[in-house]
Amino acid sequence: MKNTIAKRMKGVPQSFIREILKVTDSEHVISFAGGLPNPSTFPVKGLAKACEDVLAEDGPKALQYGSTEGYFPLRQYISARYMEKHGLKVGPDEILITTGSQQALDLAGKVLINQKDKVLMEGPGYLGAIQAFSMCSPVFKTVMLKDDGVDMDAFKKICSKEKIKLFYGVPNFHNPSGITYSEQVRKELAAALSKFGVQFIEDDPYGELRFTGEKLSHIKSYYKDGILLGSFSKVVAPGMRIGWITAPKNIMKNLVTAKQGADLHTNSLSQRILHRYLTDNDVDKHIQDIIKIYKNQRDIMIKAIEELLPDSVKHTSPEGGMFLWLTLPKQLDSTKLFNIAIKQNVAFVPGTHFYANGGGHNTMRLNFSNSSPEKIKEGIERLGLAIKKMLK
C-alpha cells in the first residue's frame, strides 16, 4: 500500500548507535560505540533478593496494574534523595516514573513541542533527544558547547533573534562530549532562560557518577520552572528501564495524560523490586564502587590516547560519566575513519550523528565504561593504526 507511513517519520533519524550494536556484536570487535554501563556493576544478588522479598510479601499487588504516576514509595525515595543530596525540593507529586529516561524525552516532546516550534539543542547533543523530538517535527537550532558548558554569548544571541520554545541540555558529564557546565554557566543559563521565556529540559542520567571535582547545583535550583530528568539505568541496571521526569504541576498533568496513551504505567513489578533494593542496601557505597571502576577505565583510556594516538588528536577529560570526545585534524572525516576502523575490529560513534543540523565531521564519541582495561588499550591501539592509515 502506498502512503501508509505518516509524514512525521520522514524527518526522524535512526539511532546510529542501535544500528552499530548489530555490527559490533562479534566477539572480535572492541566497541567504544554503545553507551553501556559495565555489567560487572549490576547488583544481581541484591536485586534477586529484593525480587524474592517483594513477591513473597506483596506478590498479588506487585503483579497488578499500577498508577500512571508510578509507585508512590519510589517517588518518595527520589524526592527525599534530591533534598538530601542536593538540597533540591521536588515533591513526589512532581515526579512521574517513566520507562527509562528515553520515554521521558518522548513524553516531553509530545506535551511541549508543536510542529515547526524552534527547539535549541547543544552542539554536539544527545542523539536520543534529537531522535525523540524529531517525532514532533520541530525546527532545530544549535548552540555550540565550550569547555565549561554551553556558549552563553551564542545562546543569548540566538534567543534574542529567534522565538525558542525549548532548550535541551545535559549539564553533568555531557553525552556525548563528557564536559560539565560550570556553576557560573548554570547561573547565567538560568537567568537567560527566565529572561527569554524558554522552557528547559535538564537531563541528568550521569550526575551521581562524579570522579573528580566539586559537586555542582542542578540548574533547576536556579530555574524552578525547568524540567529535570533522571534515571536508575546508570547506577543500578539499564534493563529495568526505570527513569523519571520532574516538572511543574501544570506540565505534569499533561505528561501523565501522554503516558496513559503510551503505556498506562511503567512496569509495576520492576518499580517495587527497585524500591526494595534501594531501601535495603547501601546505595551510596554501590555508587562509589561504580565510580572507582569507571575512573580507572577513564584514566586508562586517556593514557592510551595520549600515548598511542597522534598528537594532533585532542580529547576531553571528563570529571565523571561514561564518555569522552575526540577531535581529529580538520582534514579527517570520522565517518570514513569508522569504515577503516571497523576493519581493524574497533568501533566508535562518528560525531556527525550528534549534531541536529550537521557538523562535527572530524569528531567522535568514545565510551569507556563497558570495556576492560586490556580491551581499552588494545582498542585505542587499533584506532591509532586506523587514524595513521587515514593520515597517510
Residue 190 sits in a domain of what CATH number? 3.40.640.10
Q: What's the total number of domains in the chain?
A: 2
269 and 309 together in one domain? no
**Has residue 87 got a pLDDT over 80?**
yes
On whether residue 186 sits in a domain, the answer given is: yes
Tell whether the model's pLDDT for residue 25 goes beyond 90: no
- Look at residue 2 and tell me whether its pLDDT is greater than 70: no
Domain boundary, last residue among 250, 280, 310: 280
Same domain, 138 and 243: yes
Q: Which of 280, 307, 326 is the last residue of a domain?
A: 280
Q: What is the CATH number of the domain that holds 355?
A: 3.90.1150.10
304-317 per-position pLDDT tens digit? 999 999 999 999 99
In the chain, what is the straight-line distance between the N-terminal and C-terminal CA atoms, in Å? Answer: 50
Structural domain includes residue 189: yes
Q: Does 275 lie in the same domain as 292?
A: no
Co-location of 30 and 76 in the same domain: no
- pLDDT confidence tier of residue 10, bands split at 50, 70 and 90: confident
Please tell me whether residues 87 and 188 are part of one structural domain.
Answer: yes
Judge if 128 and 22 occupy the same domain.
no
* Three-class secondary structure of residue 121 per DSSP: strand
The answer to whether residues 349 and 325 touch, using CB atoms and an 8 Å cutoff, is no
Question: Is there a single domain that holds both residue 275 and residue 290?
Answer: no
Grade residue 294 by pLDDT with cuts at 50, 70 and 90: very high
Closest C-alpha among 192, 188, 186, 190 to residue 216: 186
d(CA 180, CA 44) in angstroms, rounded, equals: 31
Rounded to whole angstroms, how far apart are CA atoms 132 and 110?
Answer: 9
Residues 171 and 221 in one domain: yes
117 and 32 in a single domain? The answer is: no
Name the domain boundary from 263, 280, 297.
280
Domain residues for 293?
7-43+285-391
Q: Is residue 111 part of a domain?
A: yes
**Quick one: 246 and 160 in the same domain?**
yes
The answer to whether residue 32 sits within a structural domain is yes
List the beta strands (DSSP E) in the chain: 30-31, 95-98, 118-123, 139-146, 149-150, 164-169, 199-203, 227-231, 243-246, 314-315, 323-327, 346-347, 349-350, 363-367
What pLDDT, in 10s, does the model give residues 317-346?
999 999 999 999 999 999 999 999 999 999
Decide if 169 is inside a domain: yes
pLDDT at 3 over 80: no
pLDDT for res 18: 61
Average pLDDT, the chain: 95
My answer on whether 149 and 16 are in the same domain is: no
291 and 276, same structural domain?
no
DSSP tag of 214? -
Cβ(379)–Cβ(346) below 8 Å: yes
Q: Look up the pTM and report it.
A: 0.94
Structure confidence by residue, pLDDT tens digits, 192-232: 999 999 999 999 999 999 999 999 999 999 999 999 999 99
In a domain, 387, yes or no: yes
Three cell numbers, residue 387: 587514524
